Structure 1
Amino acid sequence: MSQHSSRVALITGGASGIGRRIAEKLALEEKATVCILDRDGTAAGDVAAGIRRAGGRAESFVVDLSDTEGLEQTLQELTDRCGGPDIVINSAALAATVPALDYPLPQWQLTMAINVTAPMLIIQHALRHMRVKRWGRVINIASISGVRAGTGRLGYGSSKAALIAMTRQFAIESAEWGVTVNAVAPGPVDTPMVRSMHGGGTADTYGAMIPMARYGSTDEIAHAALFLASEGASYISGHTLAVDGGFLASGLLVRDLFSTASPAH
């Protein structure tokens, strides 16, 4: 029997990209009941239906994460239908590449609502159930942009830095209940959102900054998230795991330094 066969997993942004891959793996490999929350109801329904056809258990819920009242209603509906969440994956995010000087206030407020406030409300809701069960796993999908500043990332980077800080806050206050709260910080990953942000020649620029010289895959991020959700990670909490091809470790990366430097004498 899989370790999560009796558990309920809530995944935001589960209709595409990283969230979708985590949902599929939790349902089909770990046998959890997955609840996919996404603003694209058609896509979320298609992913849930695909999981069910493959033998897994999945439900879909349409929600605008910036709508606090609507989110709270959806969380109650989810709990009534599937039970209290045992595993939370906060994967949904809003991103835009805008110069810091020109970043519009409405975009800032929307980014914070989706990337920070919604995860907070979801974790609070789940923790009330996890505290009773004395078990729970929360994994926030952050970003390397929450660790290092990046050009055009005022809103996105600040929101992900806040998500990382919030991960630690929840971790220390829920640890005694047998709950772990961690984050995964992906580097550039081949997803629809990243492709829209890294269009044109930008992809080559990002690739040149990554020691592995490639984008990551959704599978690679999902593997990290599933580890943090596992029993094997029961003593890990409050951490942010970078899955980034070595980007955060690289510092000043000069690929041809040794091939162009003069021989030492």
Structure 2
Amino acid sequence: MTTRTALITGAGRGIGLATARRFRAEGWRVALLDIDAALLGQAMAALAAPEATLALPCDVADAPAIFAAVRQAAAHFGRLDALVNNAGTAVFKPILETTPEEWARVLAVNLTGPFLATQAAAPLMAEQGGGAVVNVTSISGLRASTLRVAYGTSKAGLAHLTKQQAVELGALGIRVNAVAPGPVDTAMAKAVHTPEIRADYHDHIPLGRYGLEEELAEAIFFLCSDRASYLTGQVIAVDGGFDATGIGLPTLRAQRRNL
């Protein structure tokens, strides 16, 4: 059986690196793409599989660069079976303080990047009969929140882009789905979420905790695998039930505890 190949953007750390580990655990070859060359080098060293991995320093918002990187990955491994559009950036500012430049950069990375990467990868997948794309959107694209005007809007756009891609690429044998992570215990979350913010999230998440990078990686891998062969055009919230909660849930829980 031919060894399959996945390309993962934003693979230098966090969910991207955890996803690379998950693919490698199943014997896939993996091309890791990241804008931060130093982080990429650390990720490659951690995976310790030079014959089965490839480092691609690249900005996903740079159209010529991303097209070249995707072609390089396919040429290096001889095929491309899965694309994970995980690279993202965020600016956490009030709407009236977000600059046009910040707005443009967030949308360029979070929305235009997946558009470009998929546009580059789809013809290569079609040549071998198809493949799978997973876009990593966010719970912030499904429900609005403060300080996320650029980030949330970009991720909402990515959720719709997922459906557009699924509708048009299905005829080429390419499935396109998305995962929408809720709060995840990444390095960034640990750095910016105060104990008070974490407590608020715990109160609103039915499972009462943050997700793990490995749990997101599991969902992403599943969507790329043959086990998801009839799934396309879906946005799956991997969020401990956060998107399902309603107003007043913490109060209702407190009342239940007091009964």
* Same fold (TM > 0.5): yes
Q: Which 5+ residue runs of structure 2 have no aligned equivalent?
A: none
Identity of aligned residues (%): 38
Alignment correspondent of 2:230: 235
Paired amino acid for 1:85: L
Indicate how the Cα distance of structure 1 residues 113 and 175 shifts in structure 2: closer, same or farther if over 3 A, else same. same
Give the Å deviation of 1:182: 0.2
**Contact kept in structure 1, 2:202 and 2:210, CA below 8 Å:** yes
**TM-fit CA distance, 1:227:** 0.9
Kindly provide the amino acid, as one letter, of the partner of residue 47 in structure 2: I
Deviation digits for residues 203-247 of structure 1 (CA, Å, limit 9, x no counterpart): 222222211111000111111111111111000000011111111
Q: 1:120 to 1:152 in 2, by over 3 A?
A: same
Query: What is residue 10 of structure 2 aligned with on the other side?
Result: 13
Measure how far apart 1:200 and its partner are.
Answer: 5.3
1:22 maps to what in 2?
19
User: Which residue number corresponds to residue 90 of structure 2?
Assistant: 95
Corresponding residue for residue 116 of structure 1: 111
- Structure 1 residue 83: Cα displacement: 3.3
Matched, 1:195 2:190: yes
State the distance in 2 between where 1:197 and 1:120 align. 29
Tell whether 2:50 aligns with 1:46: no
Deviations 1:1-22 (A, max 9, x none): 7xxx621100001110000000
Aligned to 1:258: 256
User: Which residue identity does 2:198 align to in structure 1?
Assistant: A
Structure 2 distance, partners of 1:128, 1:168, is 18
Amino acid in the other structure paired with 1:155: A
Q: Distance in 1 between matches of 2:194 and 2:87?
A: 20
Whether contact under 8 Å (2:60, 2:116) holds in the other structure is no
Q: Which residue of 2 aligns with 1:32?
A: 28
The CA distance in 2 between the partners of 1:147 and 1:233, in whole Å, is 23
SS in structure 1 at match of 2:33 = strand
Deviations 1:121-153 (A, max 9, x none): 110111101112122010111111010001111
**How many Å apart are 1:260 and its aligned residue?**
4.4
In the TM superposition, residue 117 of structure 1 has moved relative to its aligned partner by 0.6
CA distance in 1, matches of 2:155, 2:114: 11
Which residue type is aligned with residue 8 of structure 1?
T
CA contact (8 A) 1:31 1:56 kept: no
Taking structure 1 as the reference length, what is the TM-score of the superposition?
Answer: 0.90
- Measure how far apart 1:170 and its partner are: 0.5
SS in 1 for 2:48: helix
C-alpha distance in structure 2 between counterparts of 1:226 and 1:12, whole Å: 14
Matched, 1:249 2:244: yes
Mapped partners of 2:108, 2:91: distance in 1: 14
Deviation at 1:56, TM superposition (A): 7.0
CA distance in 2, matches of 1:146, 1:237: 19
Mapping 1:38-77, distance limit 5 Å: 38-53=34-49, 57-77=52-72
> Please, which moves more after superposition, 131-140 or 154-163?
131-140
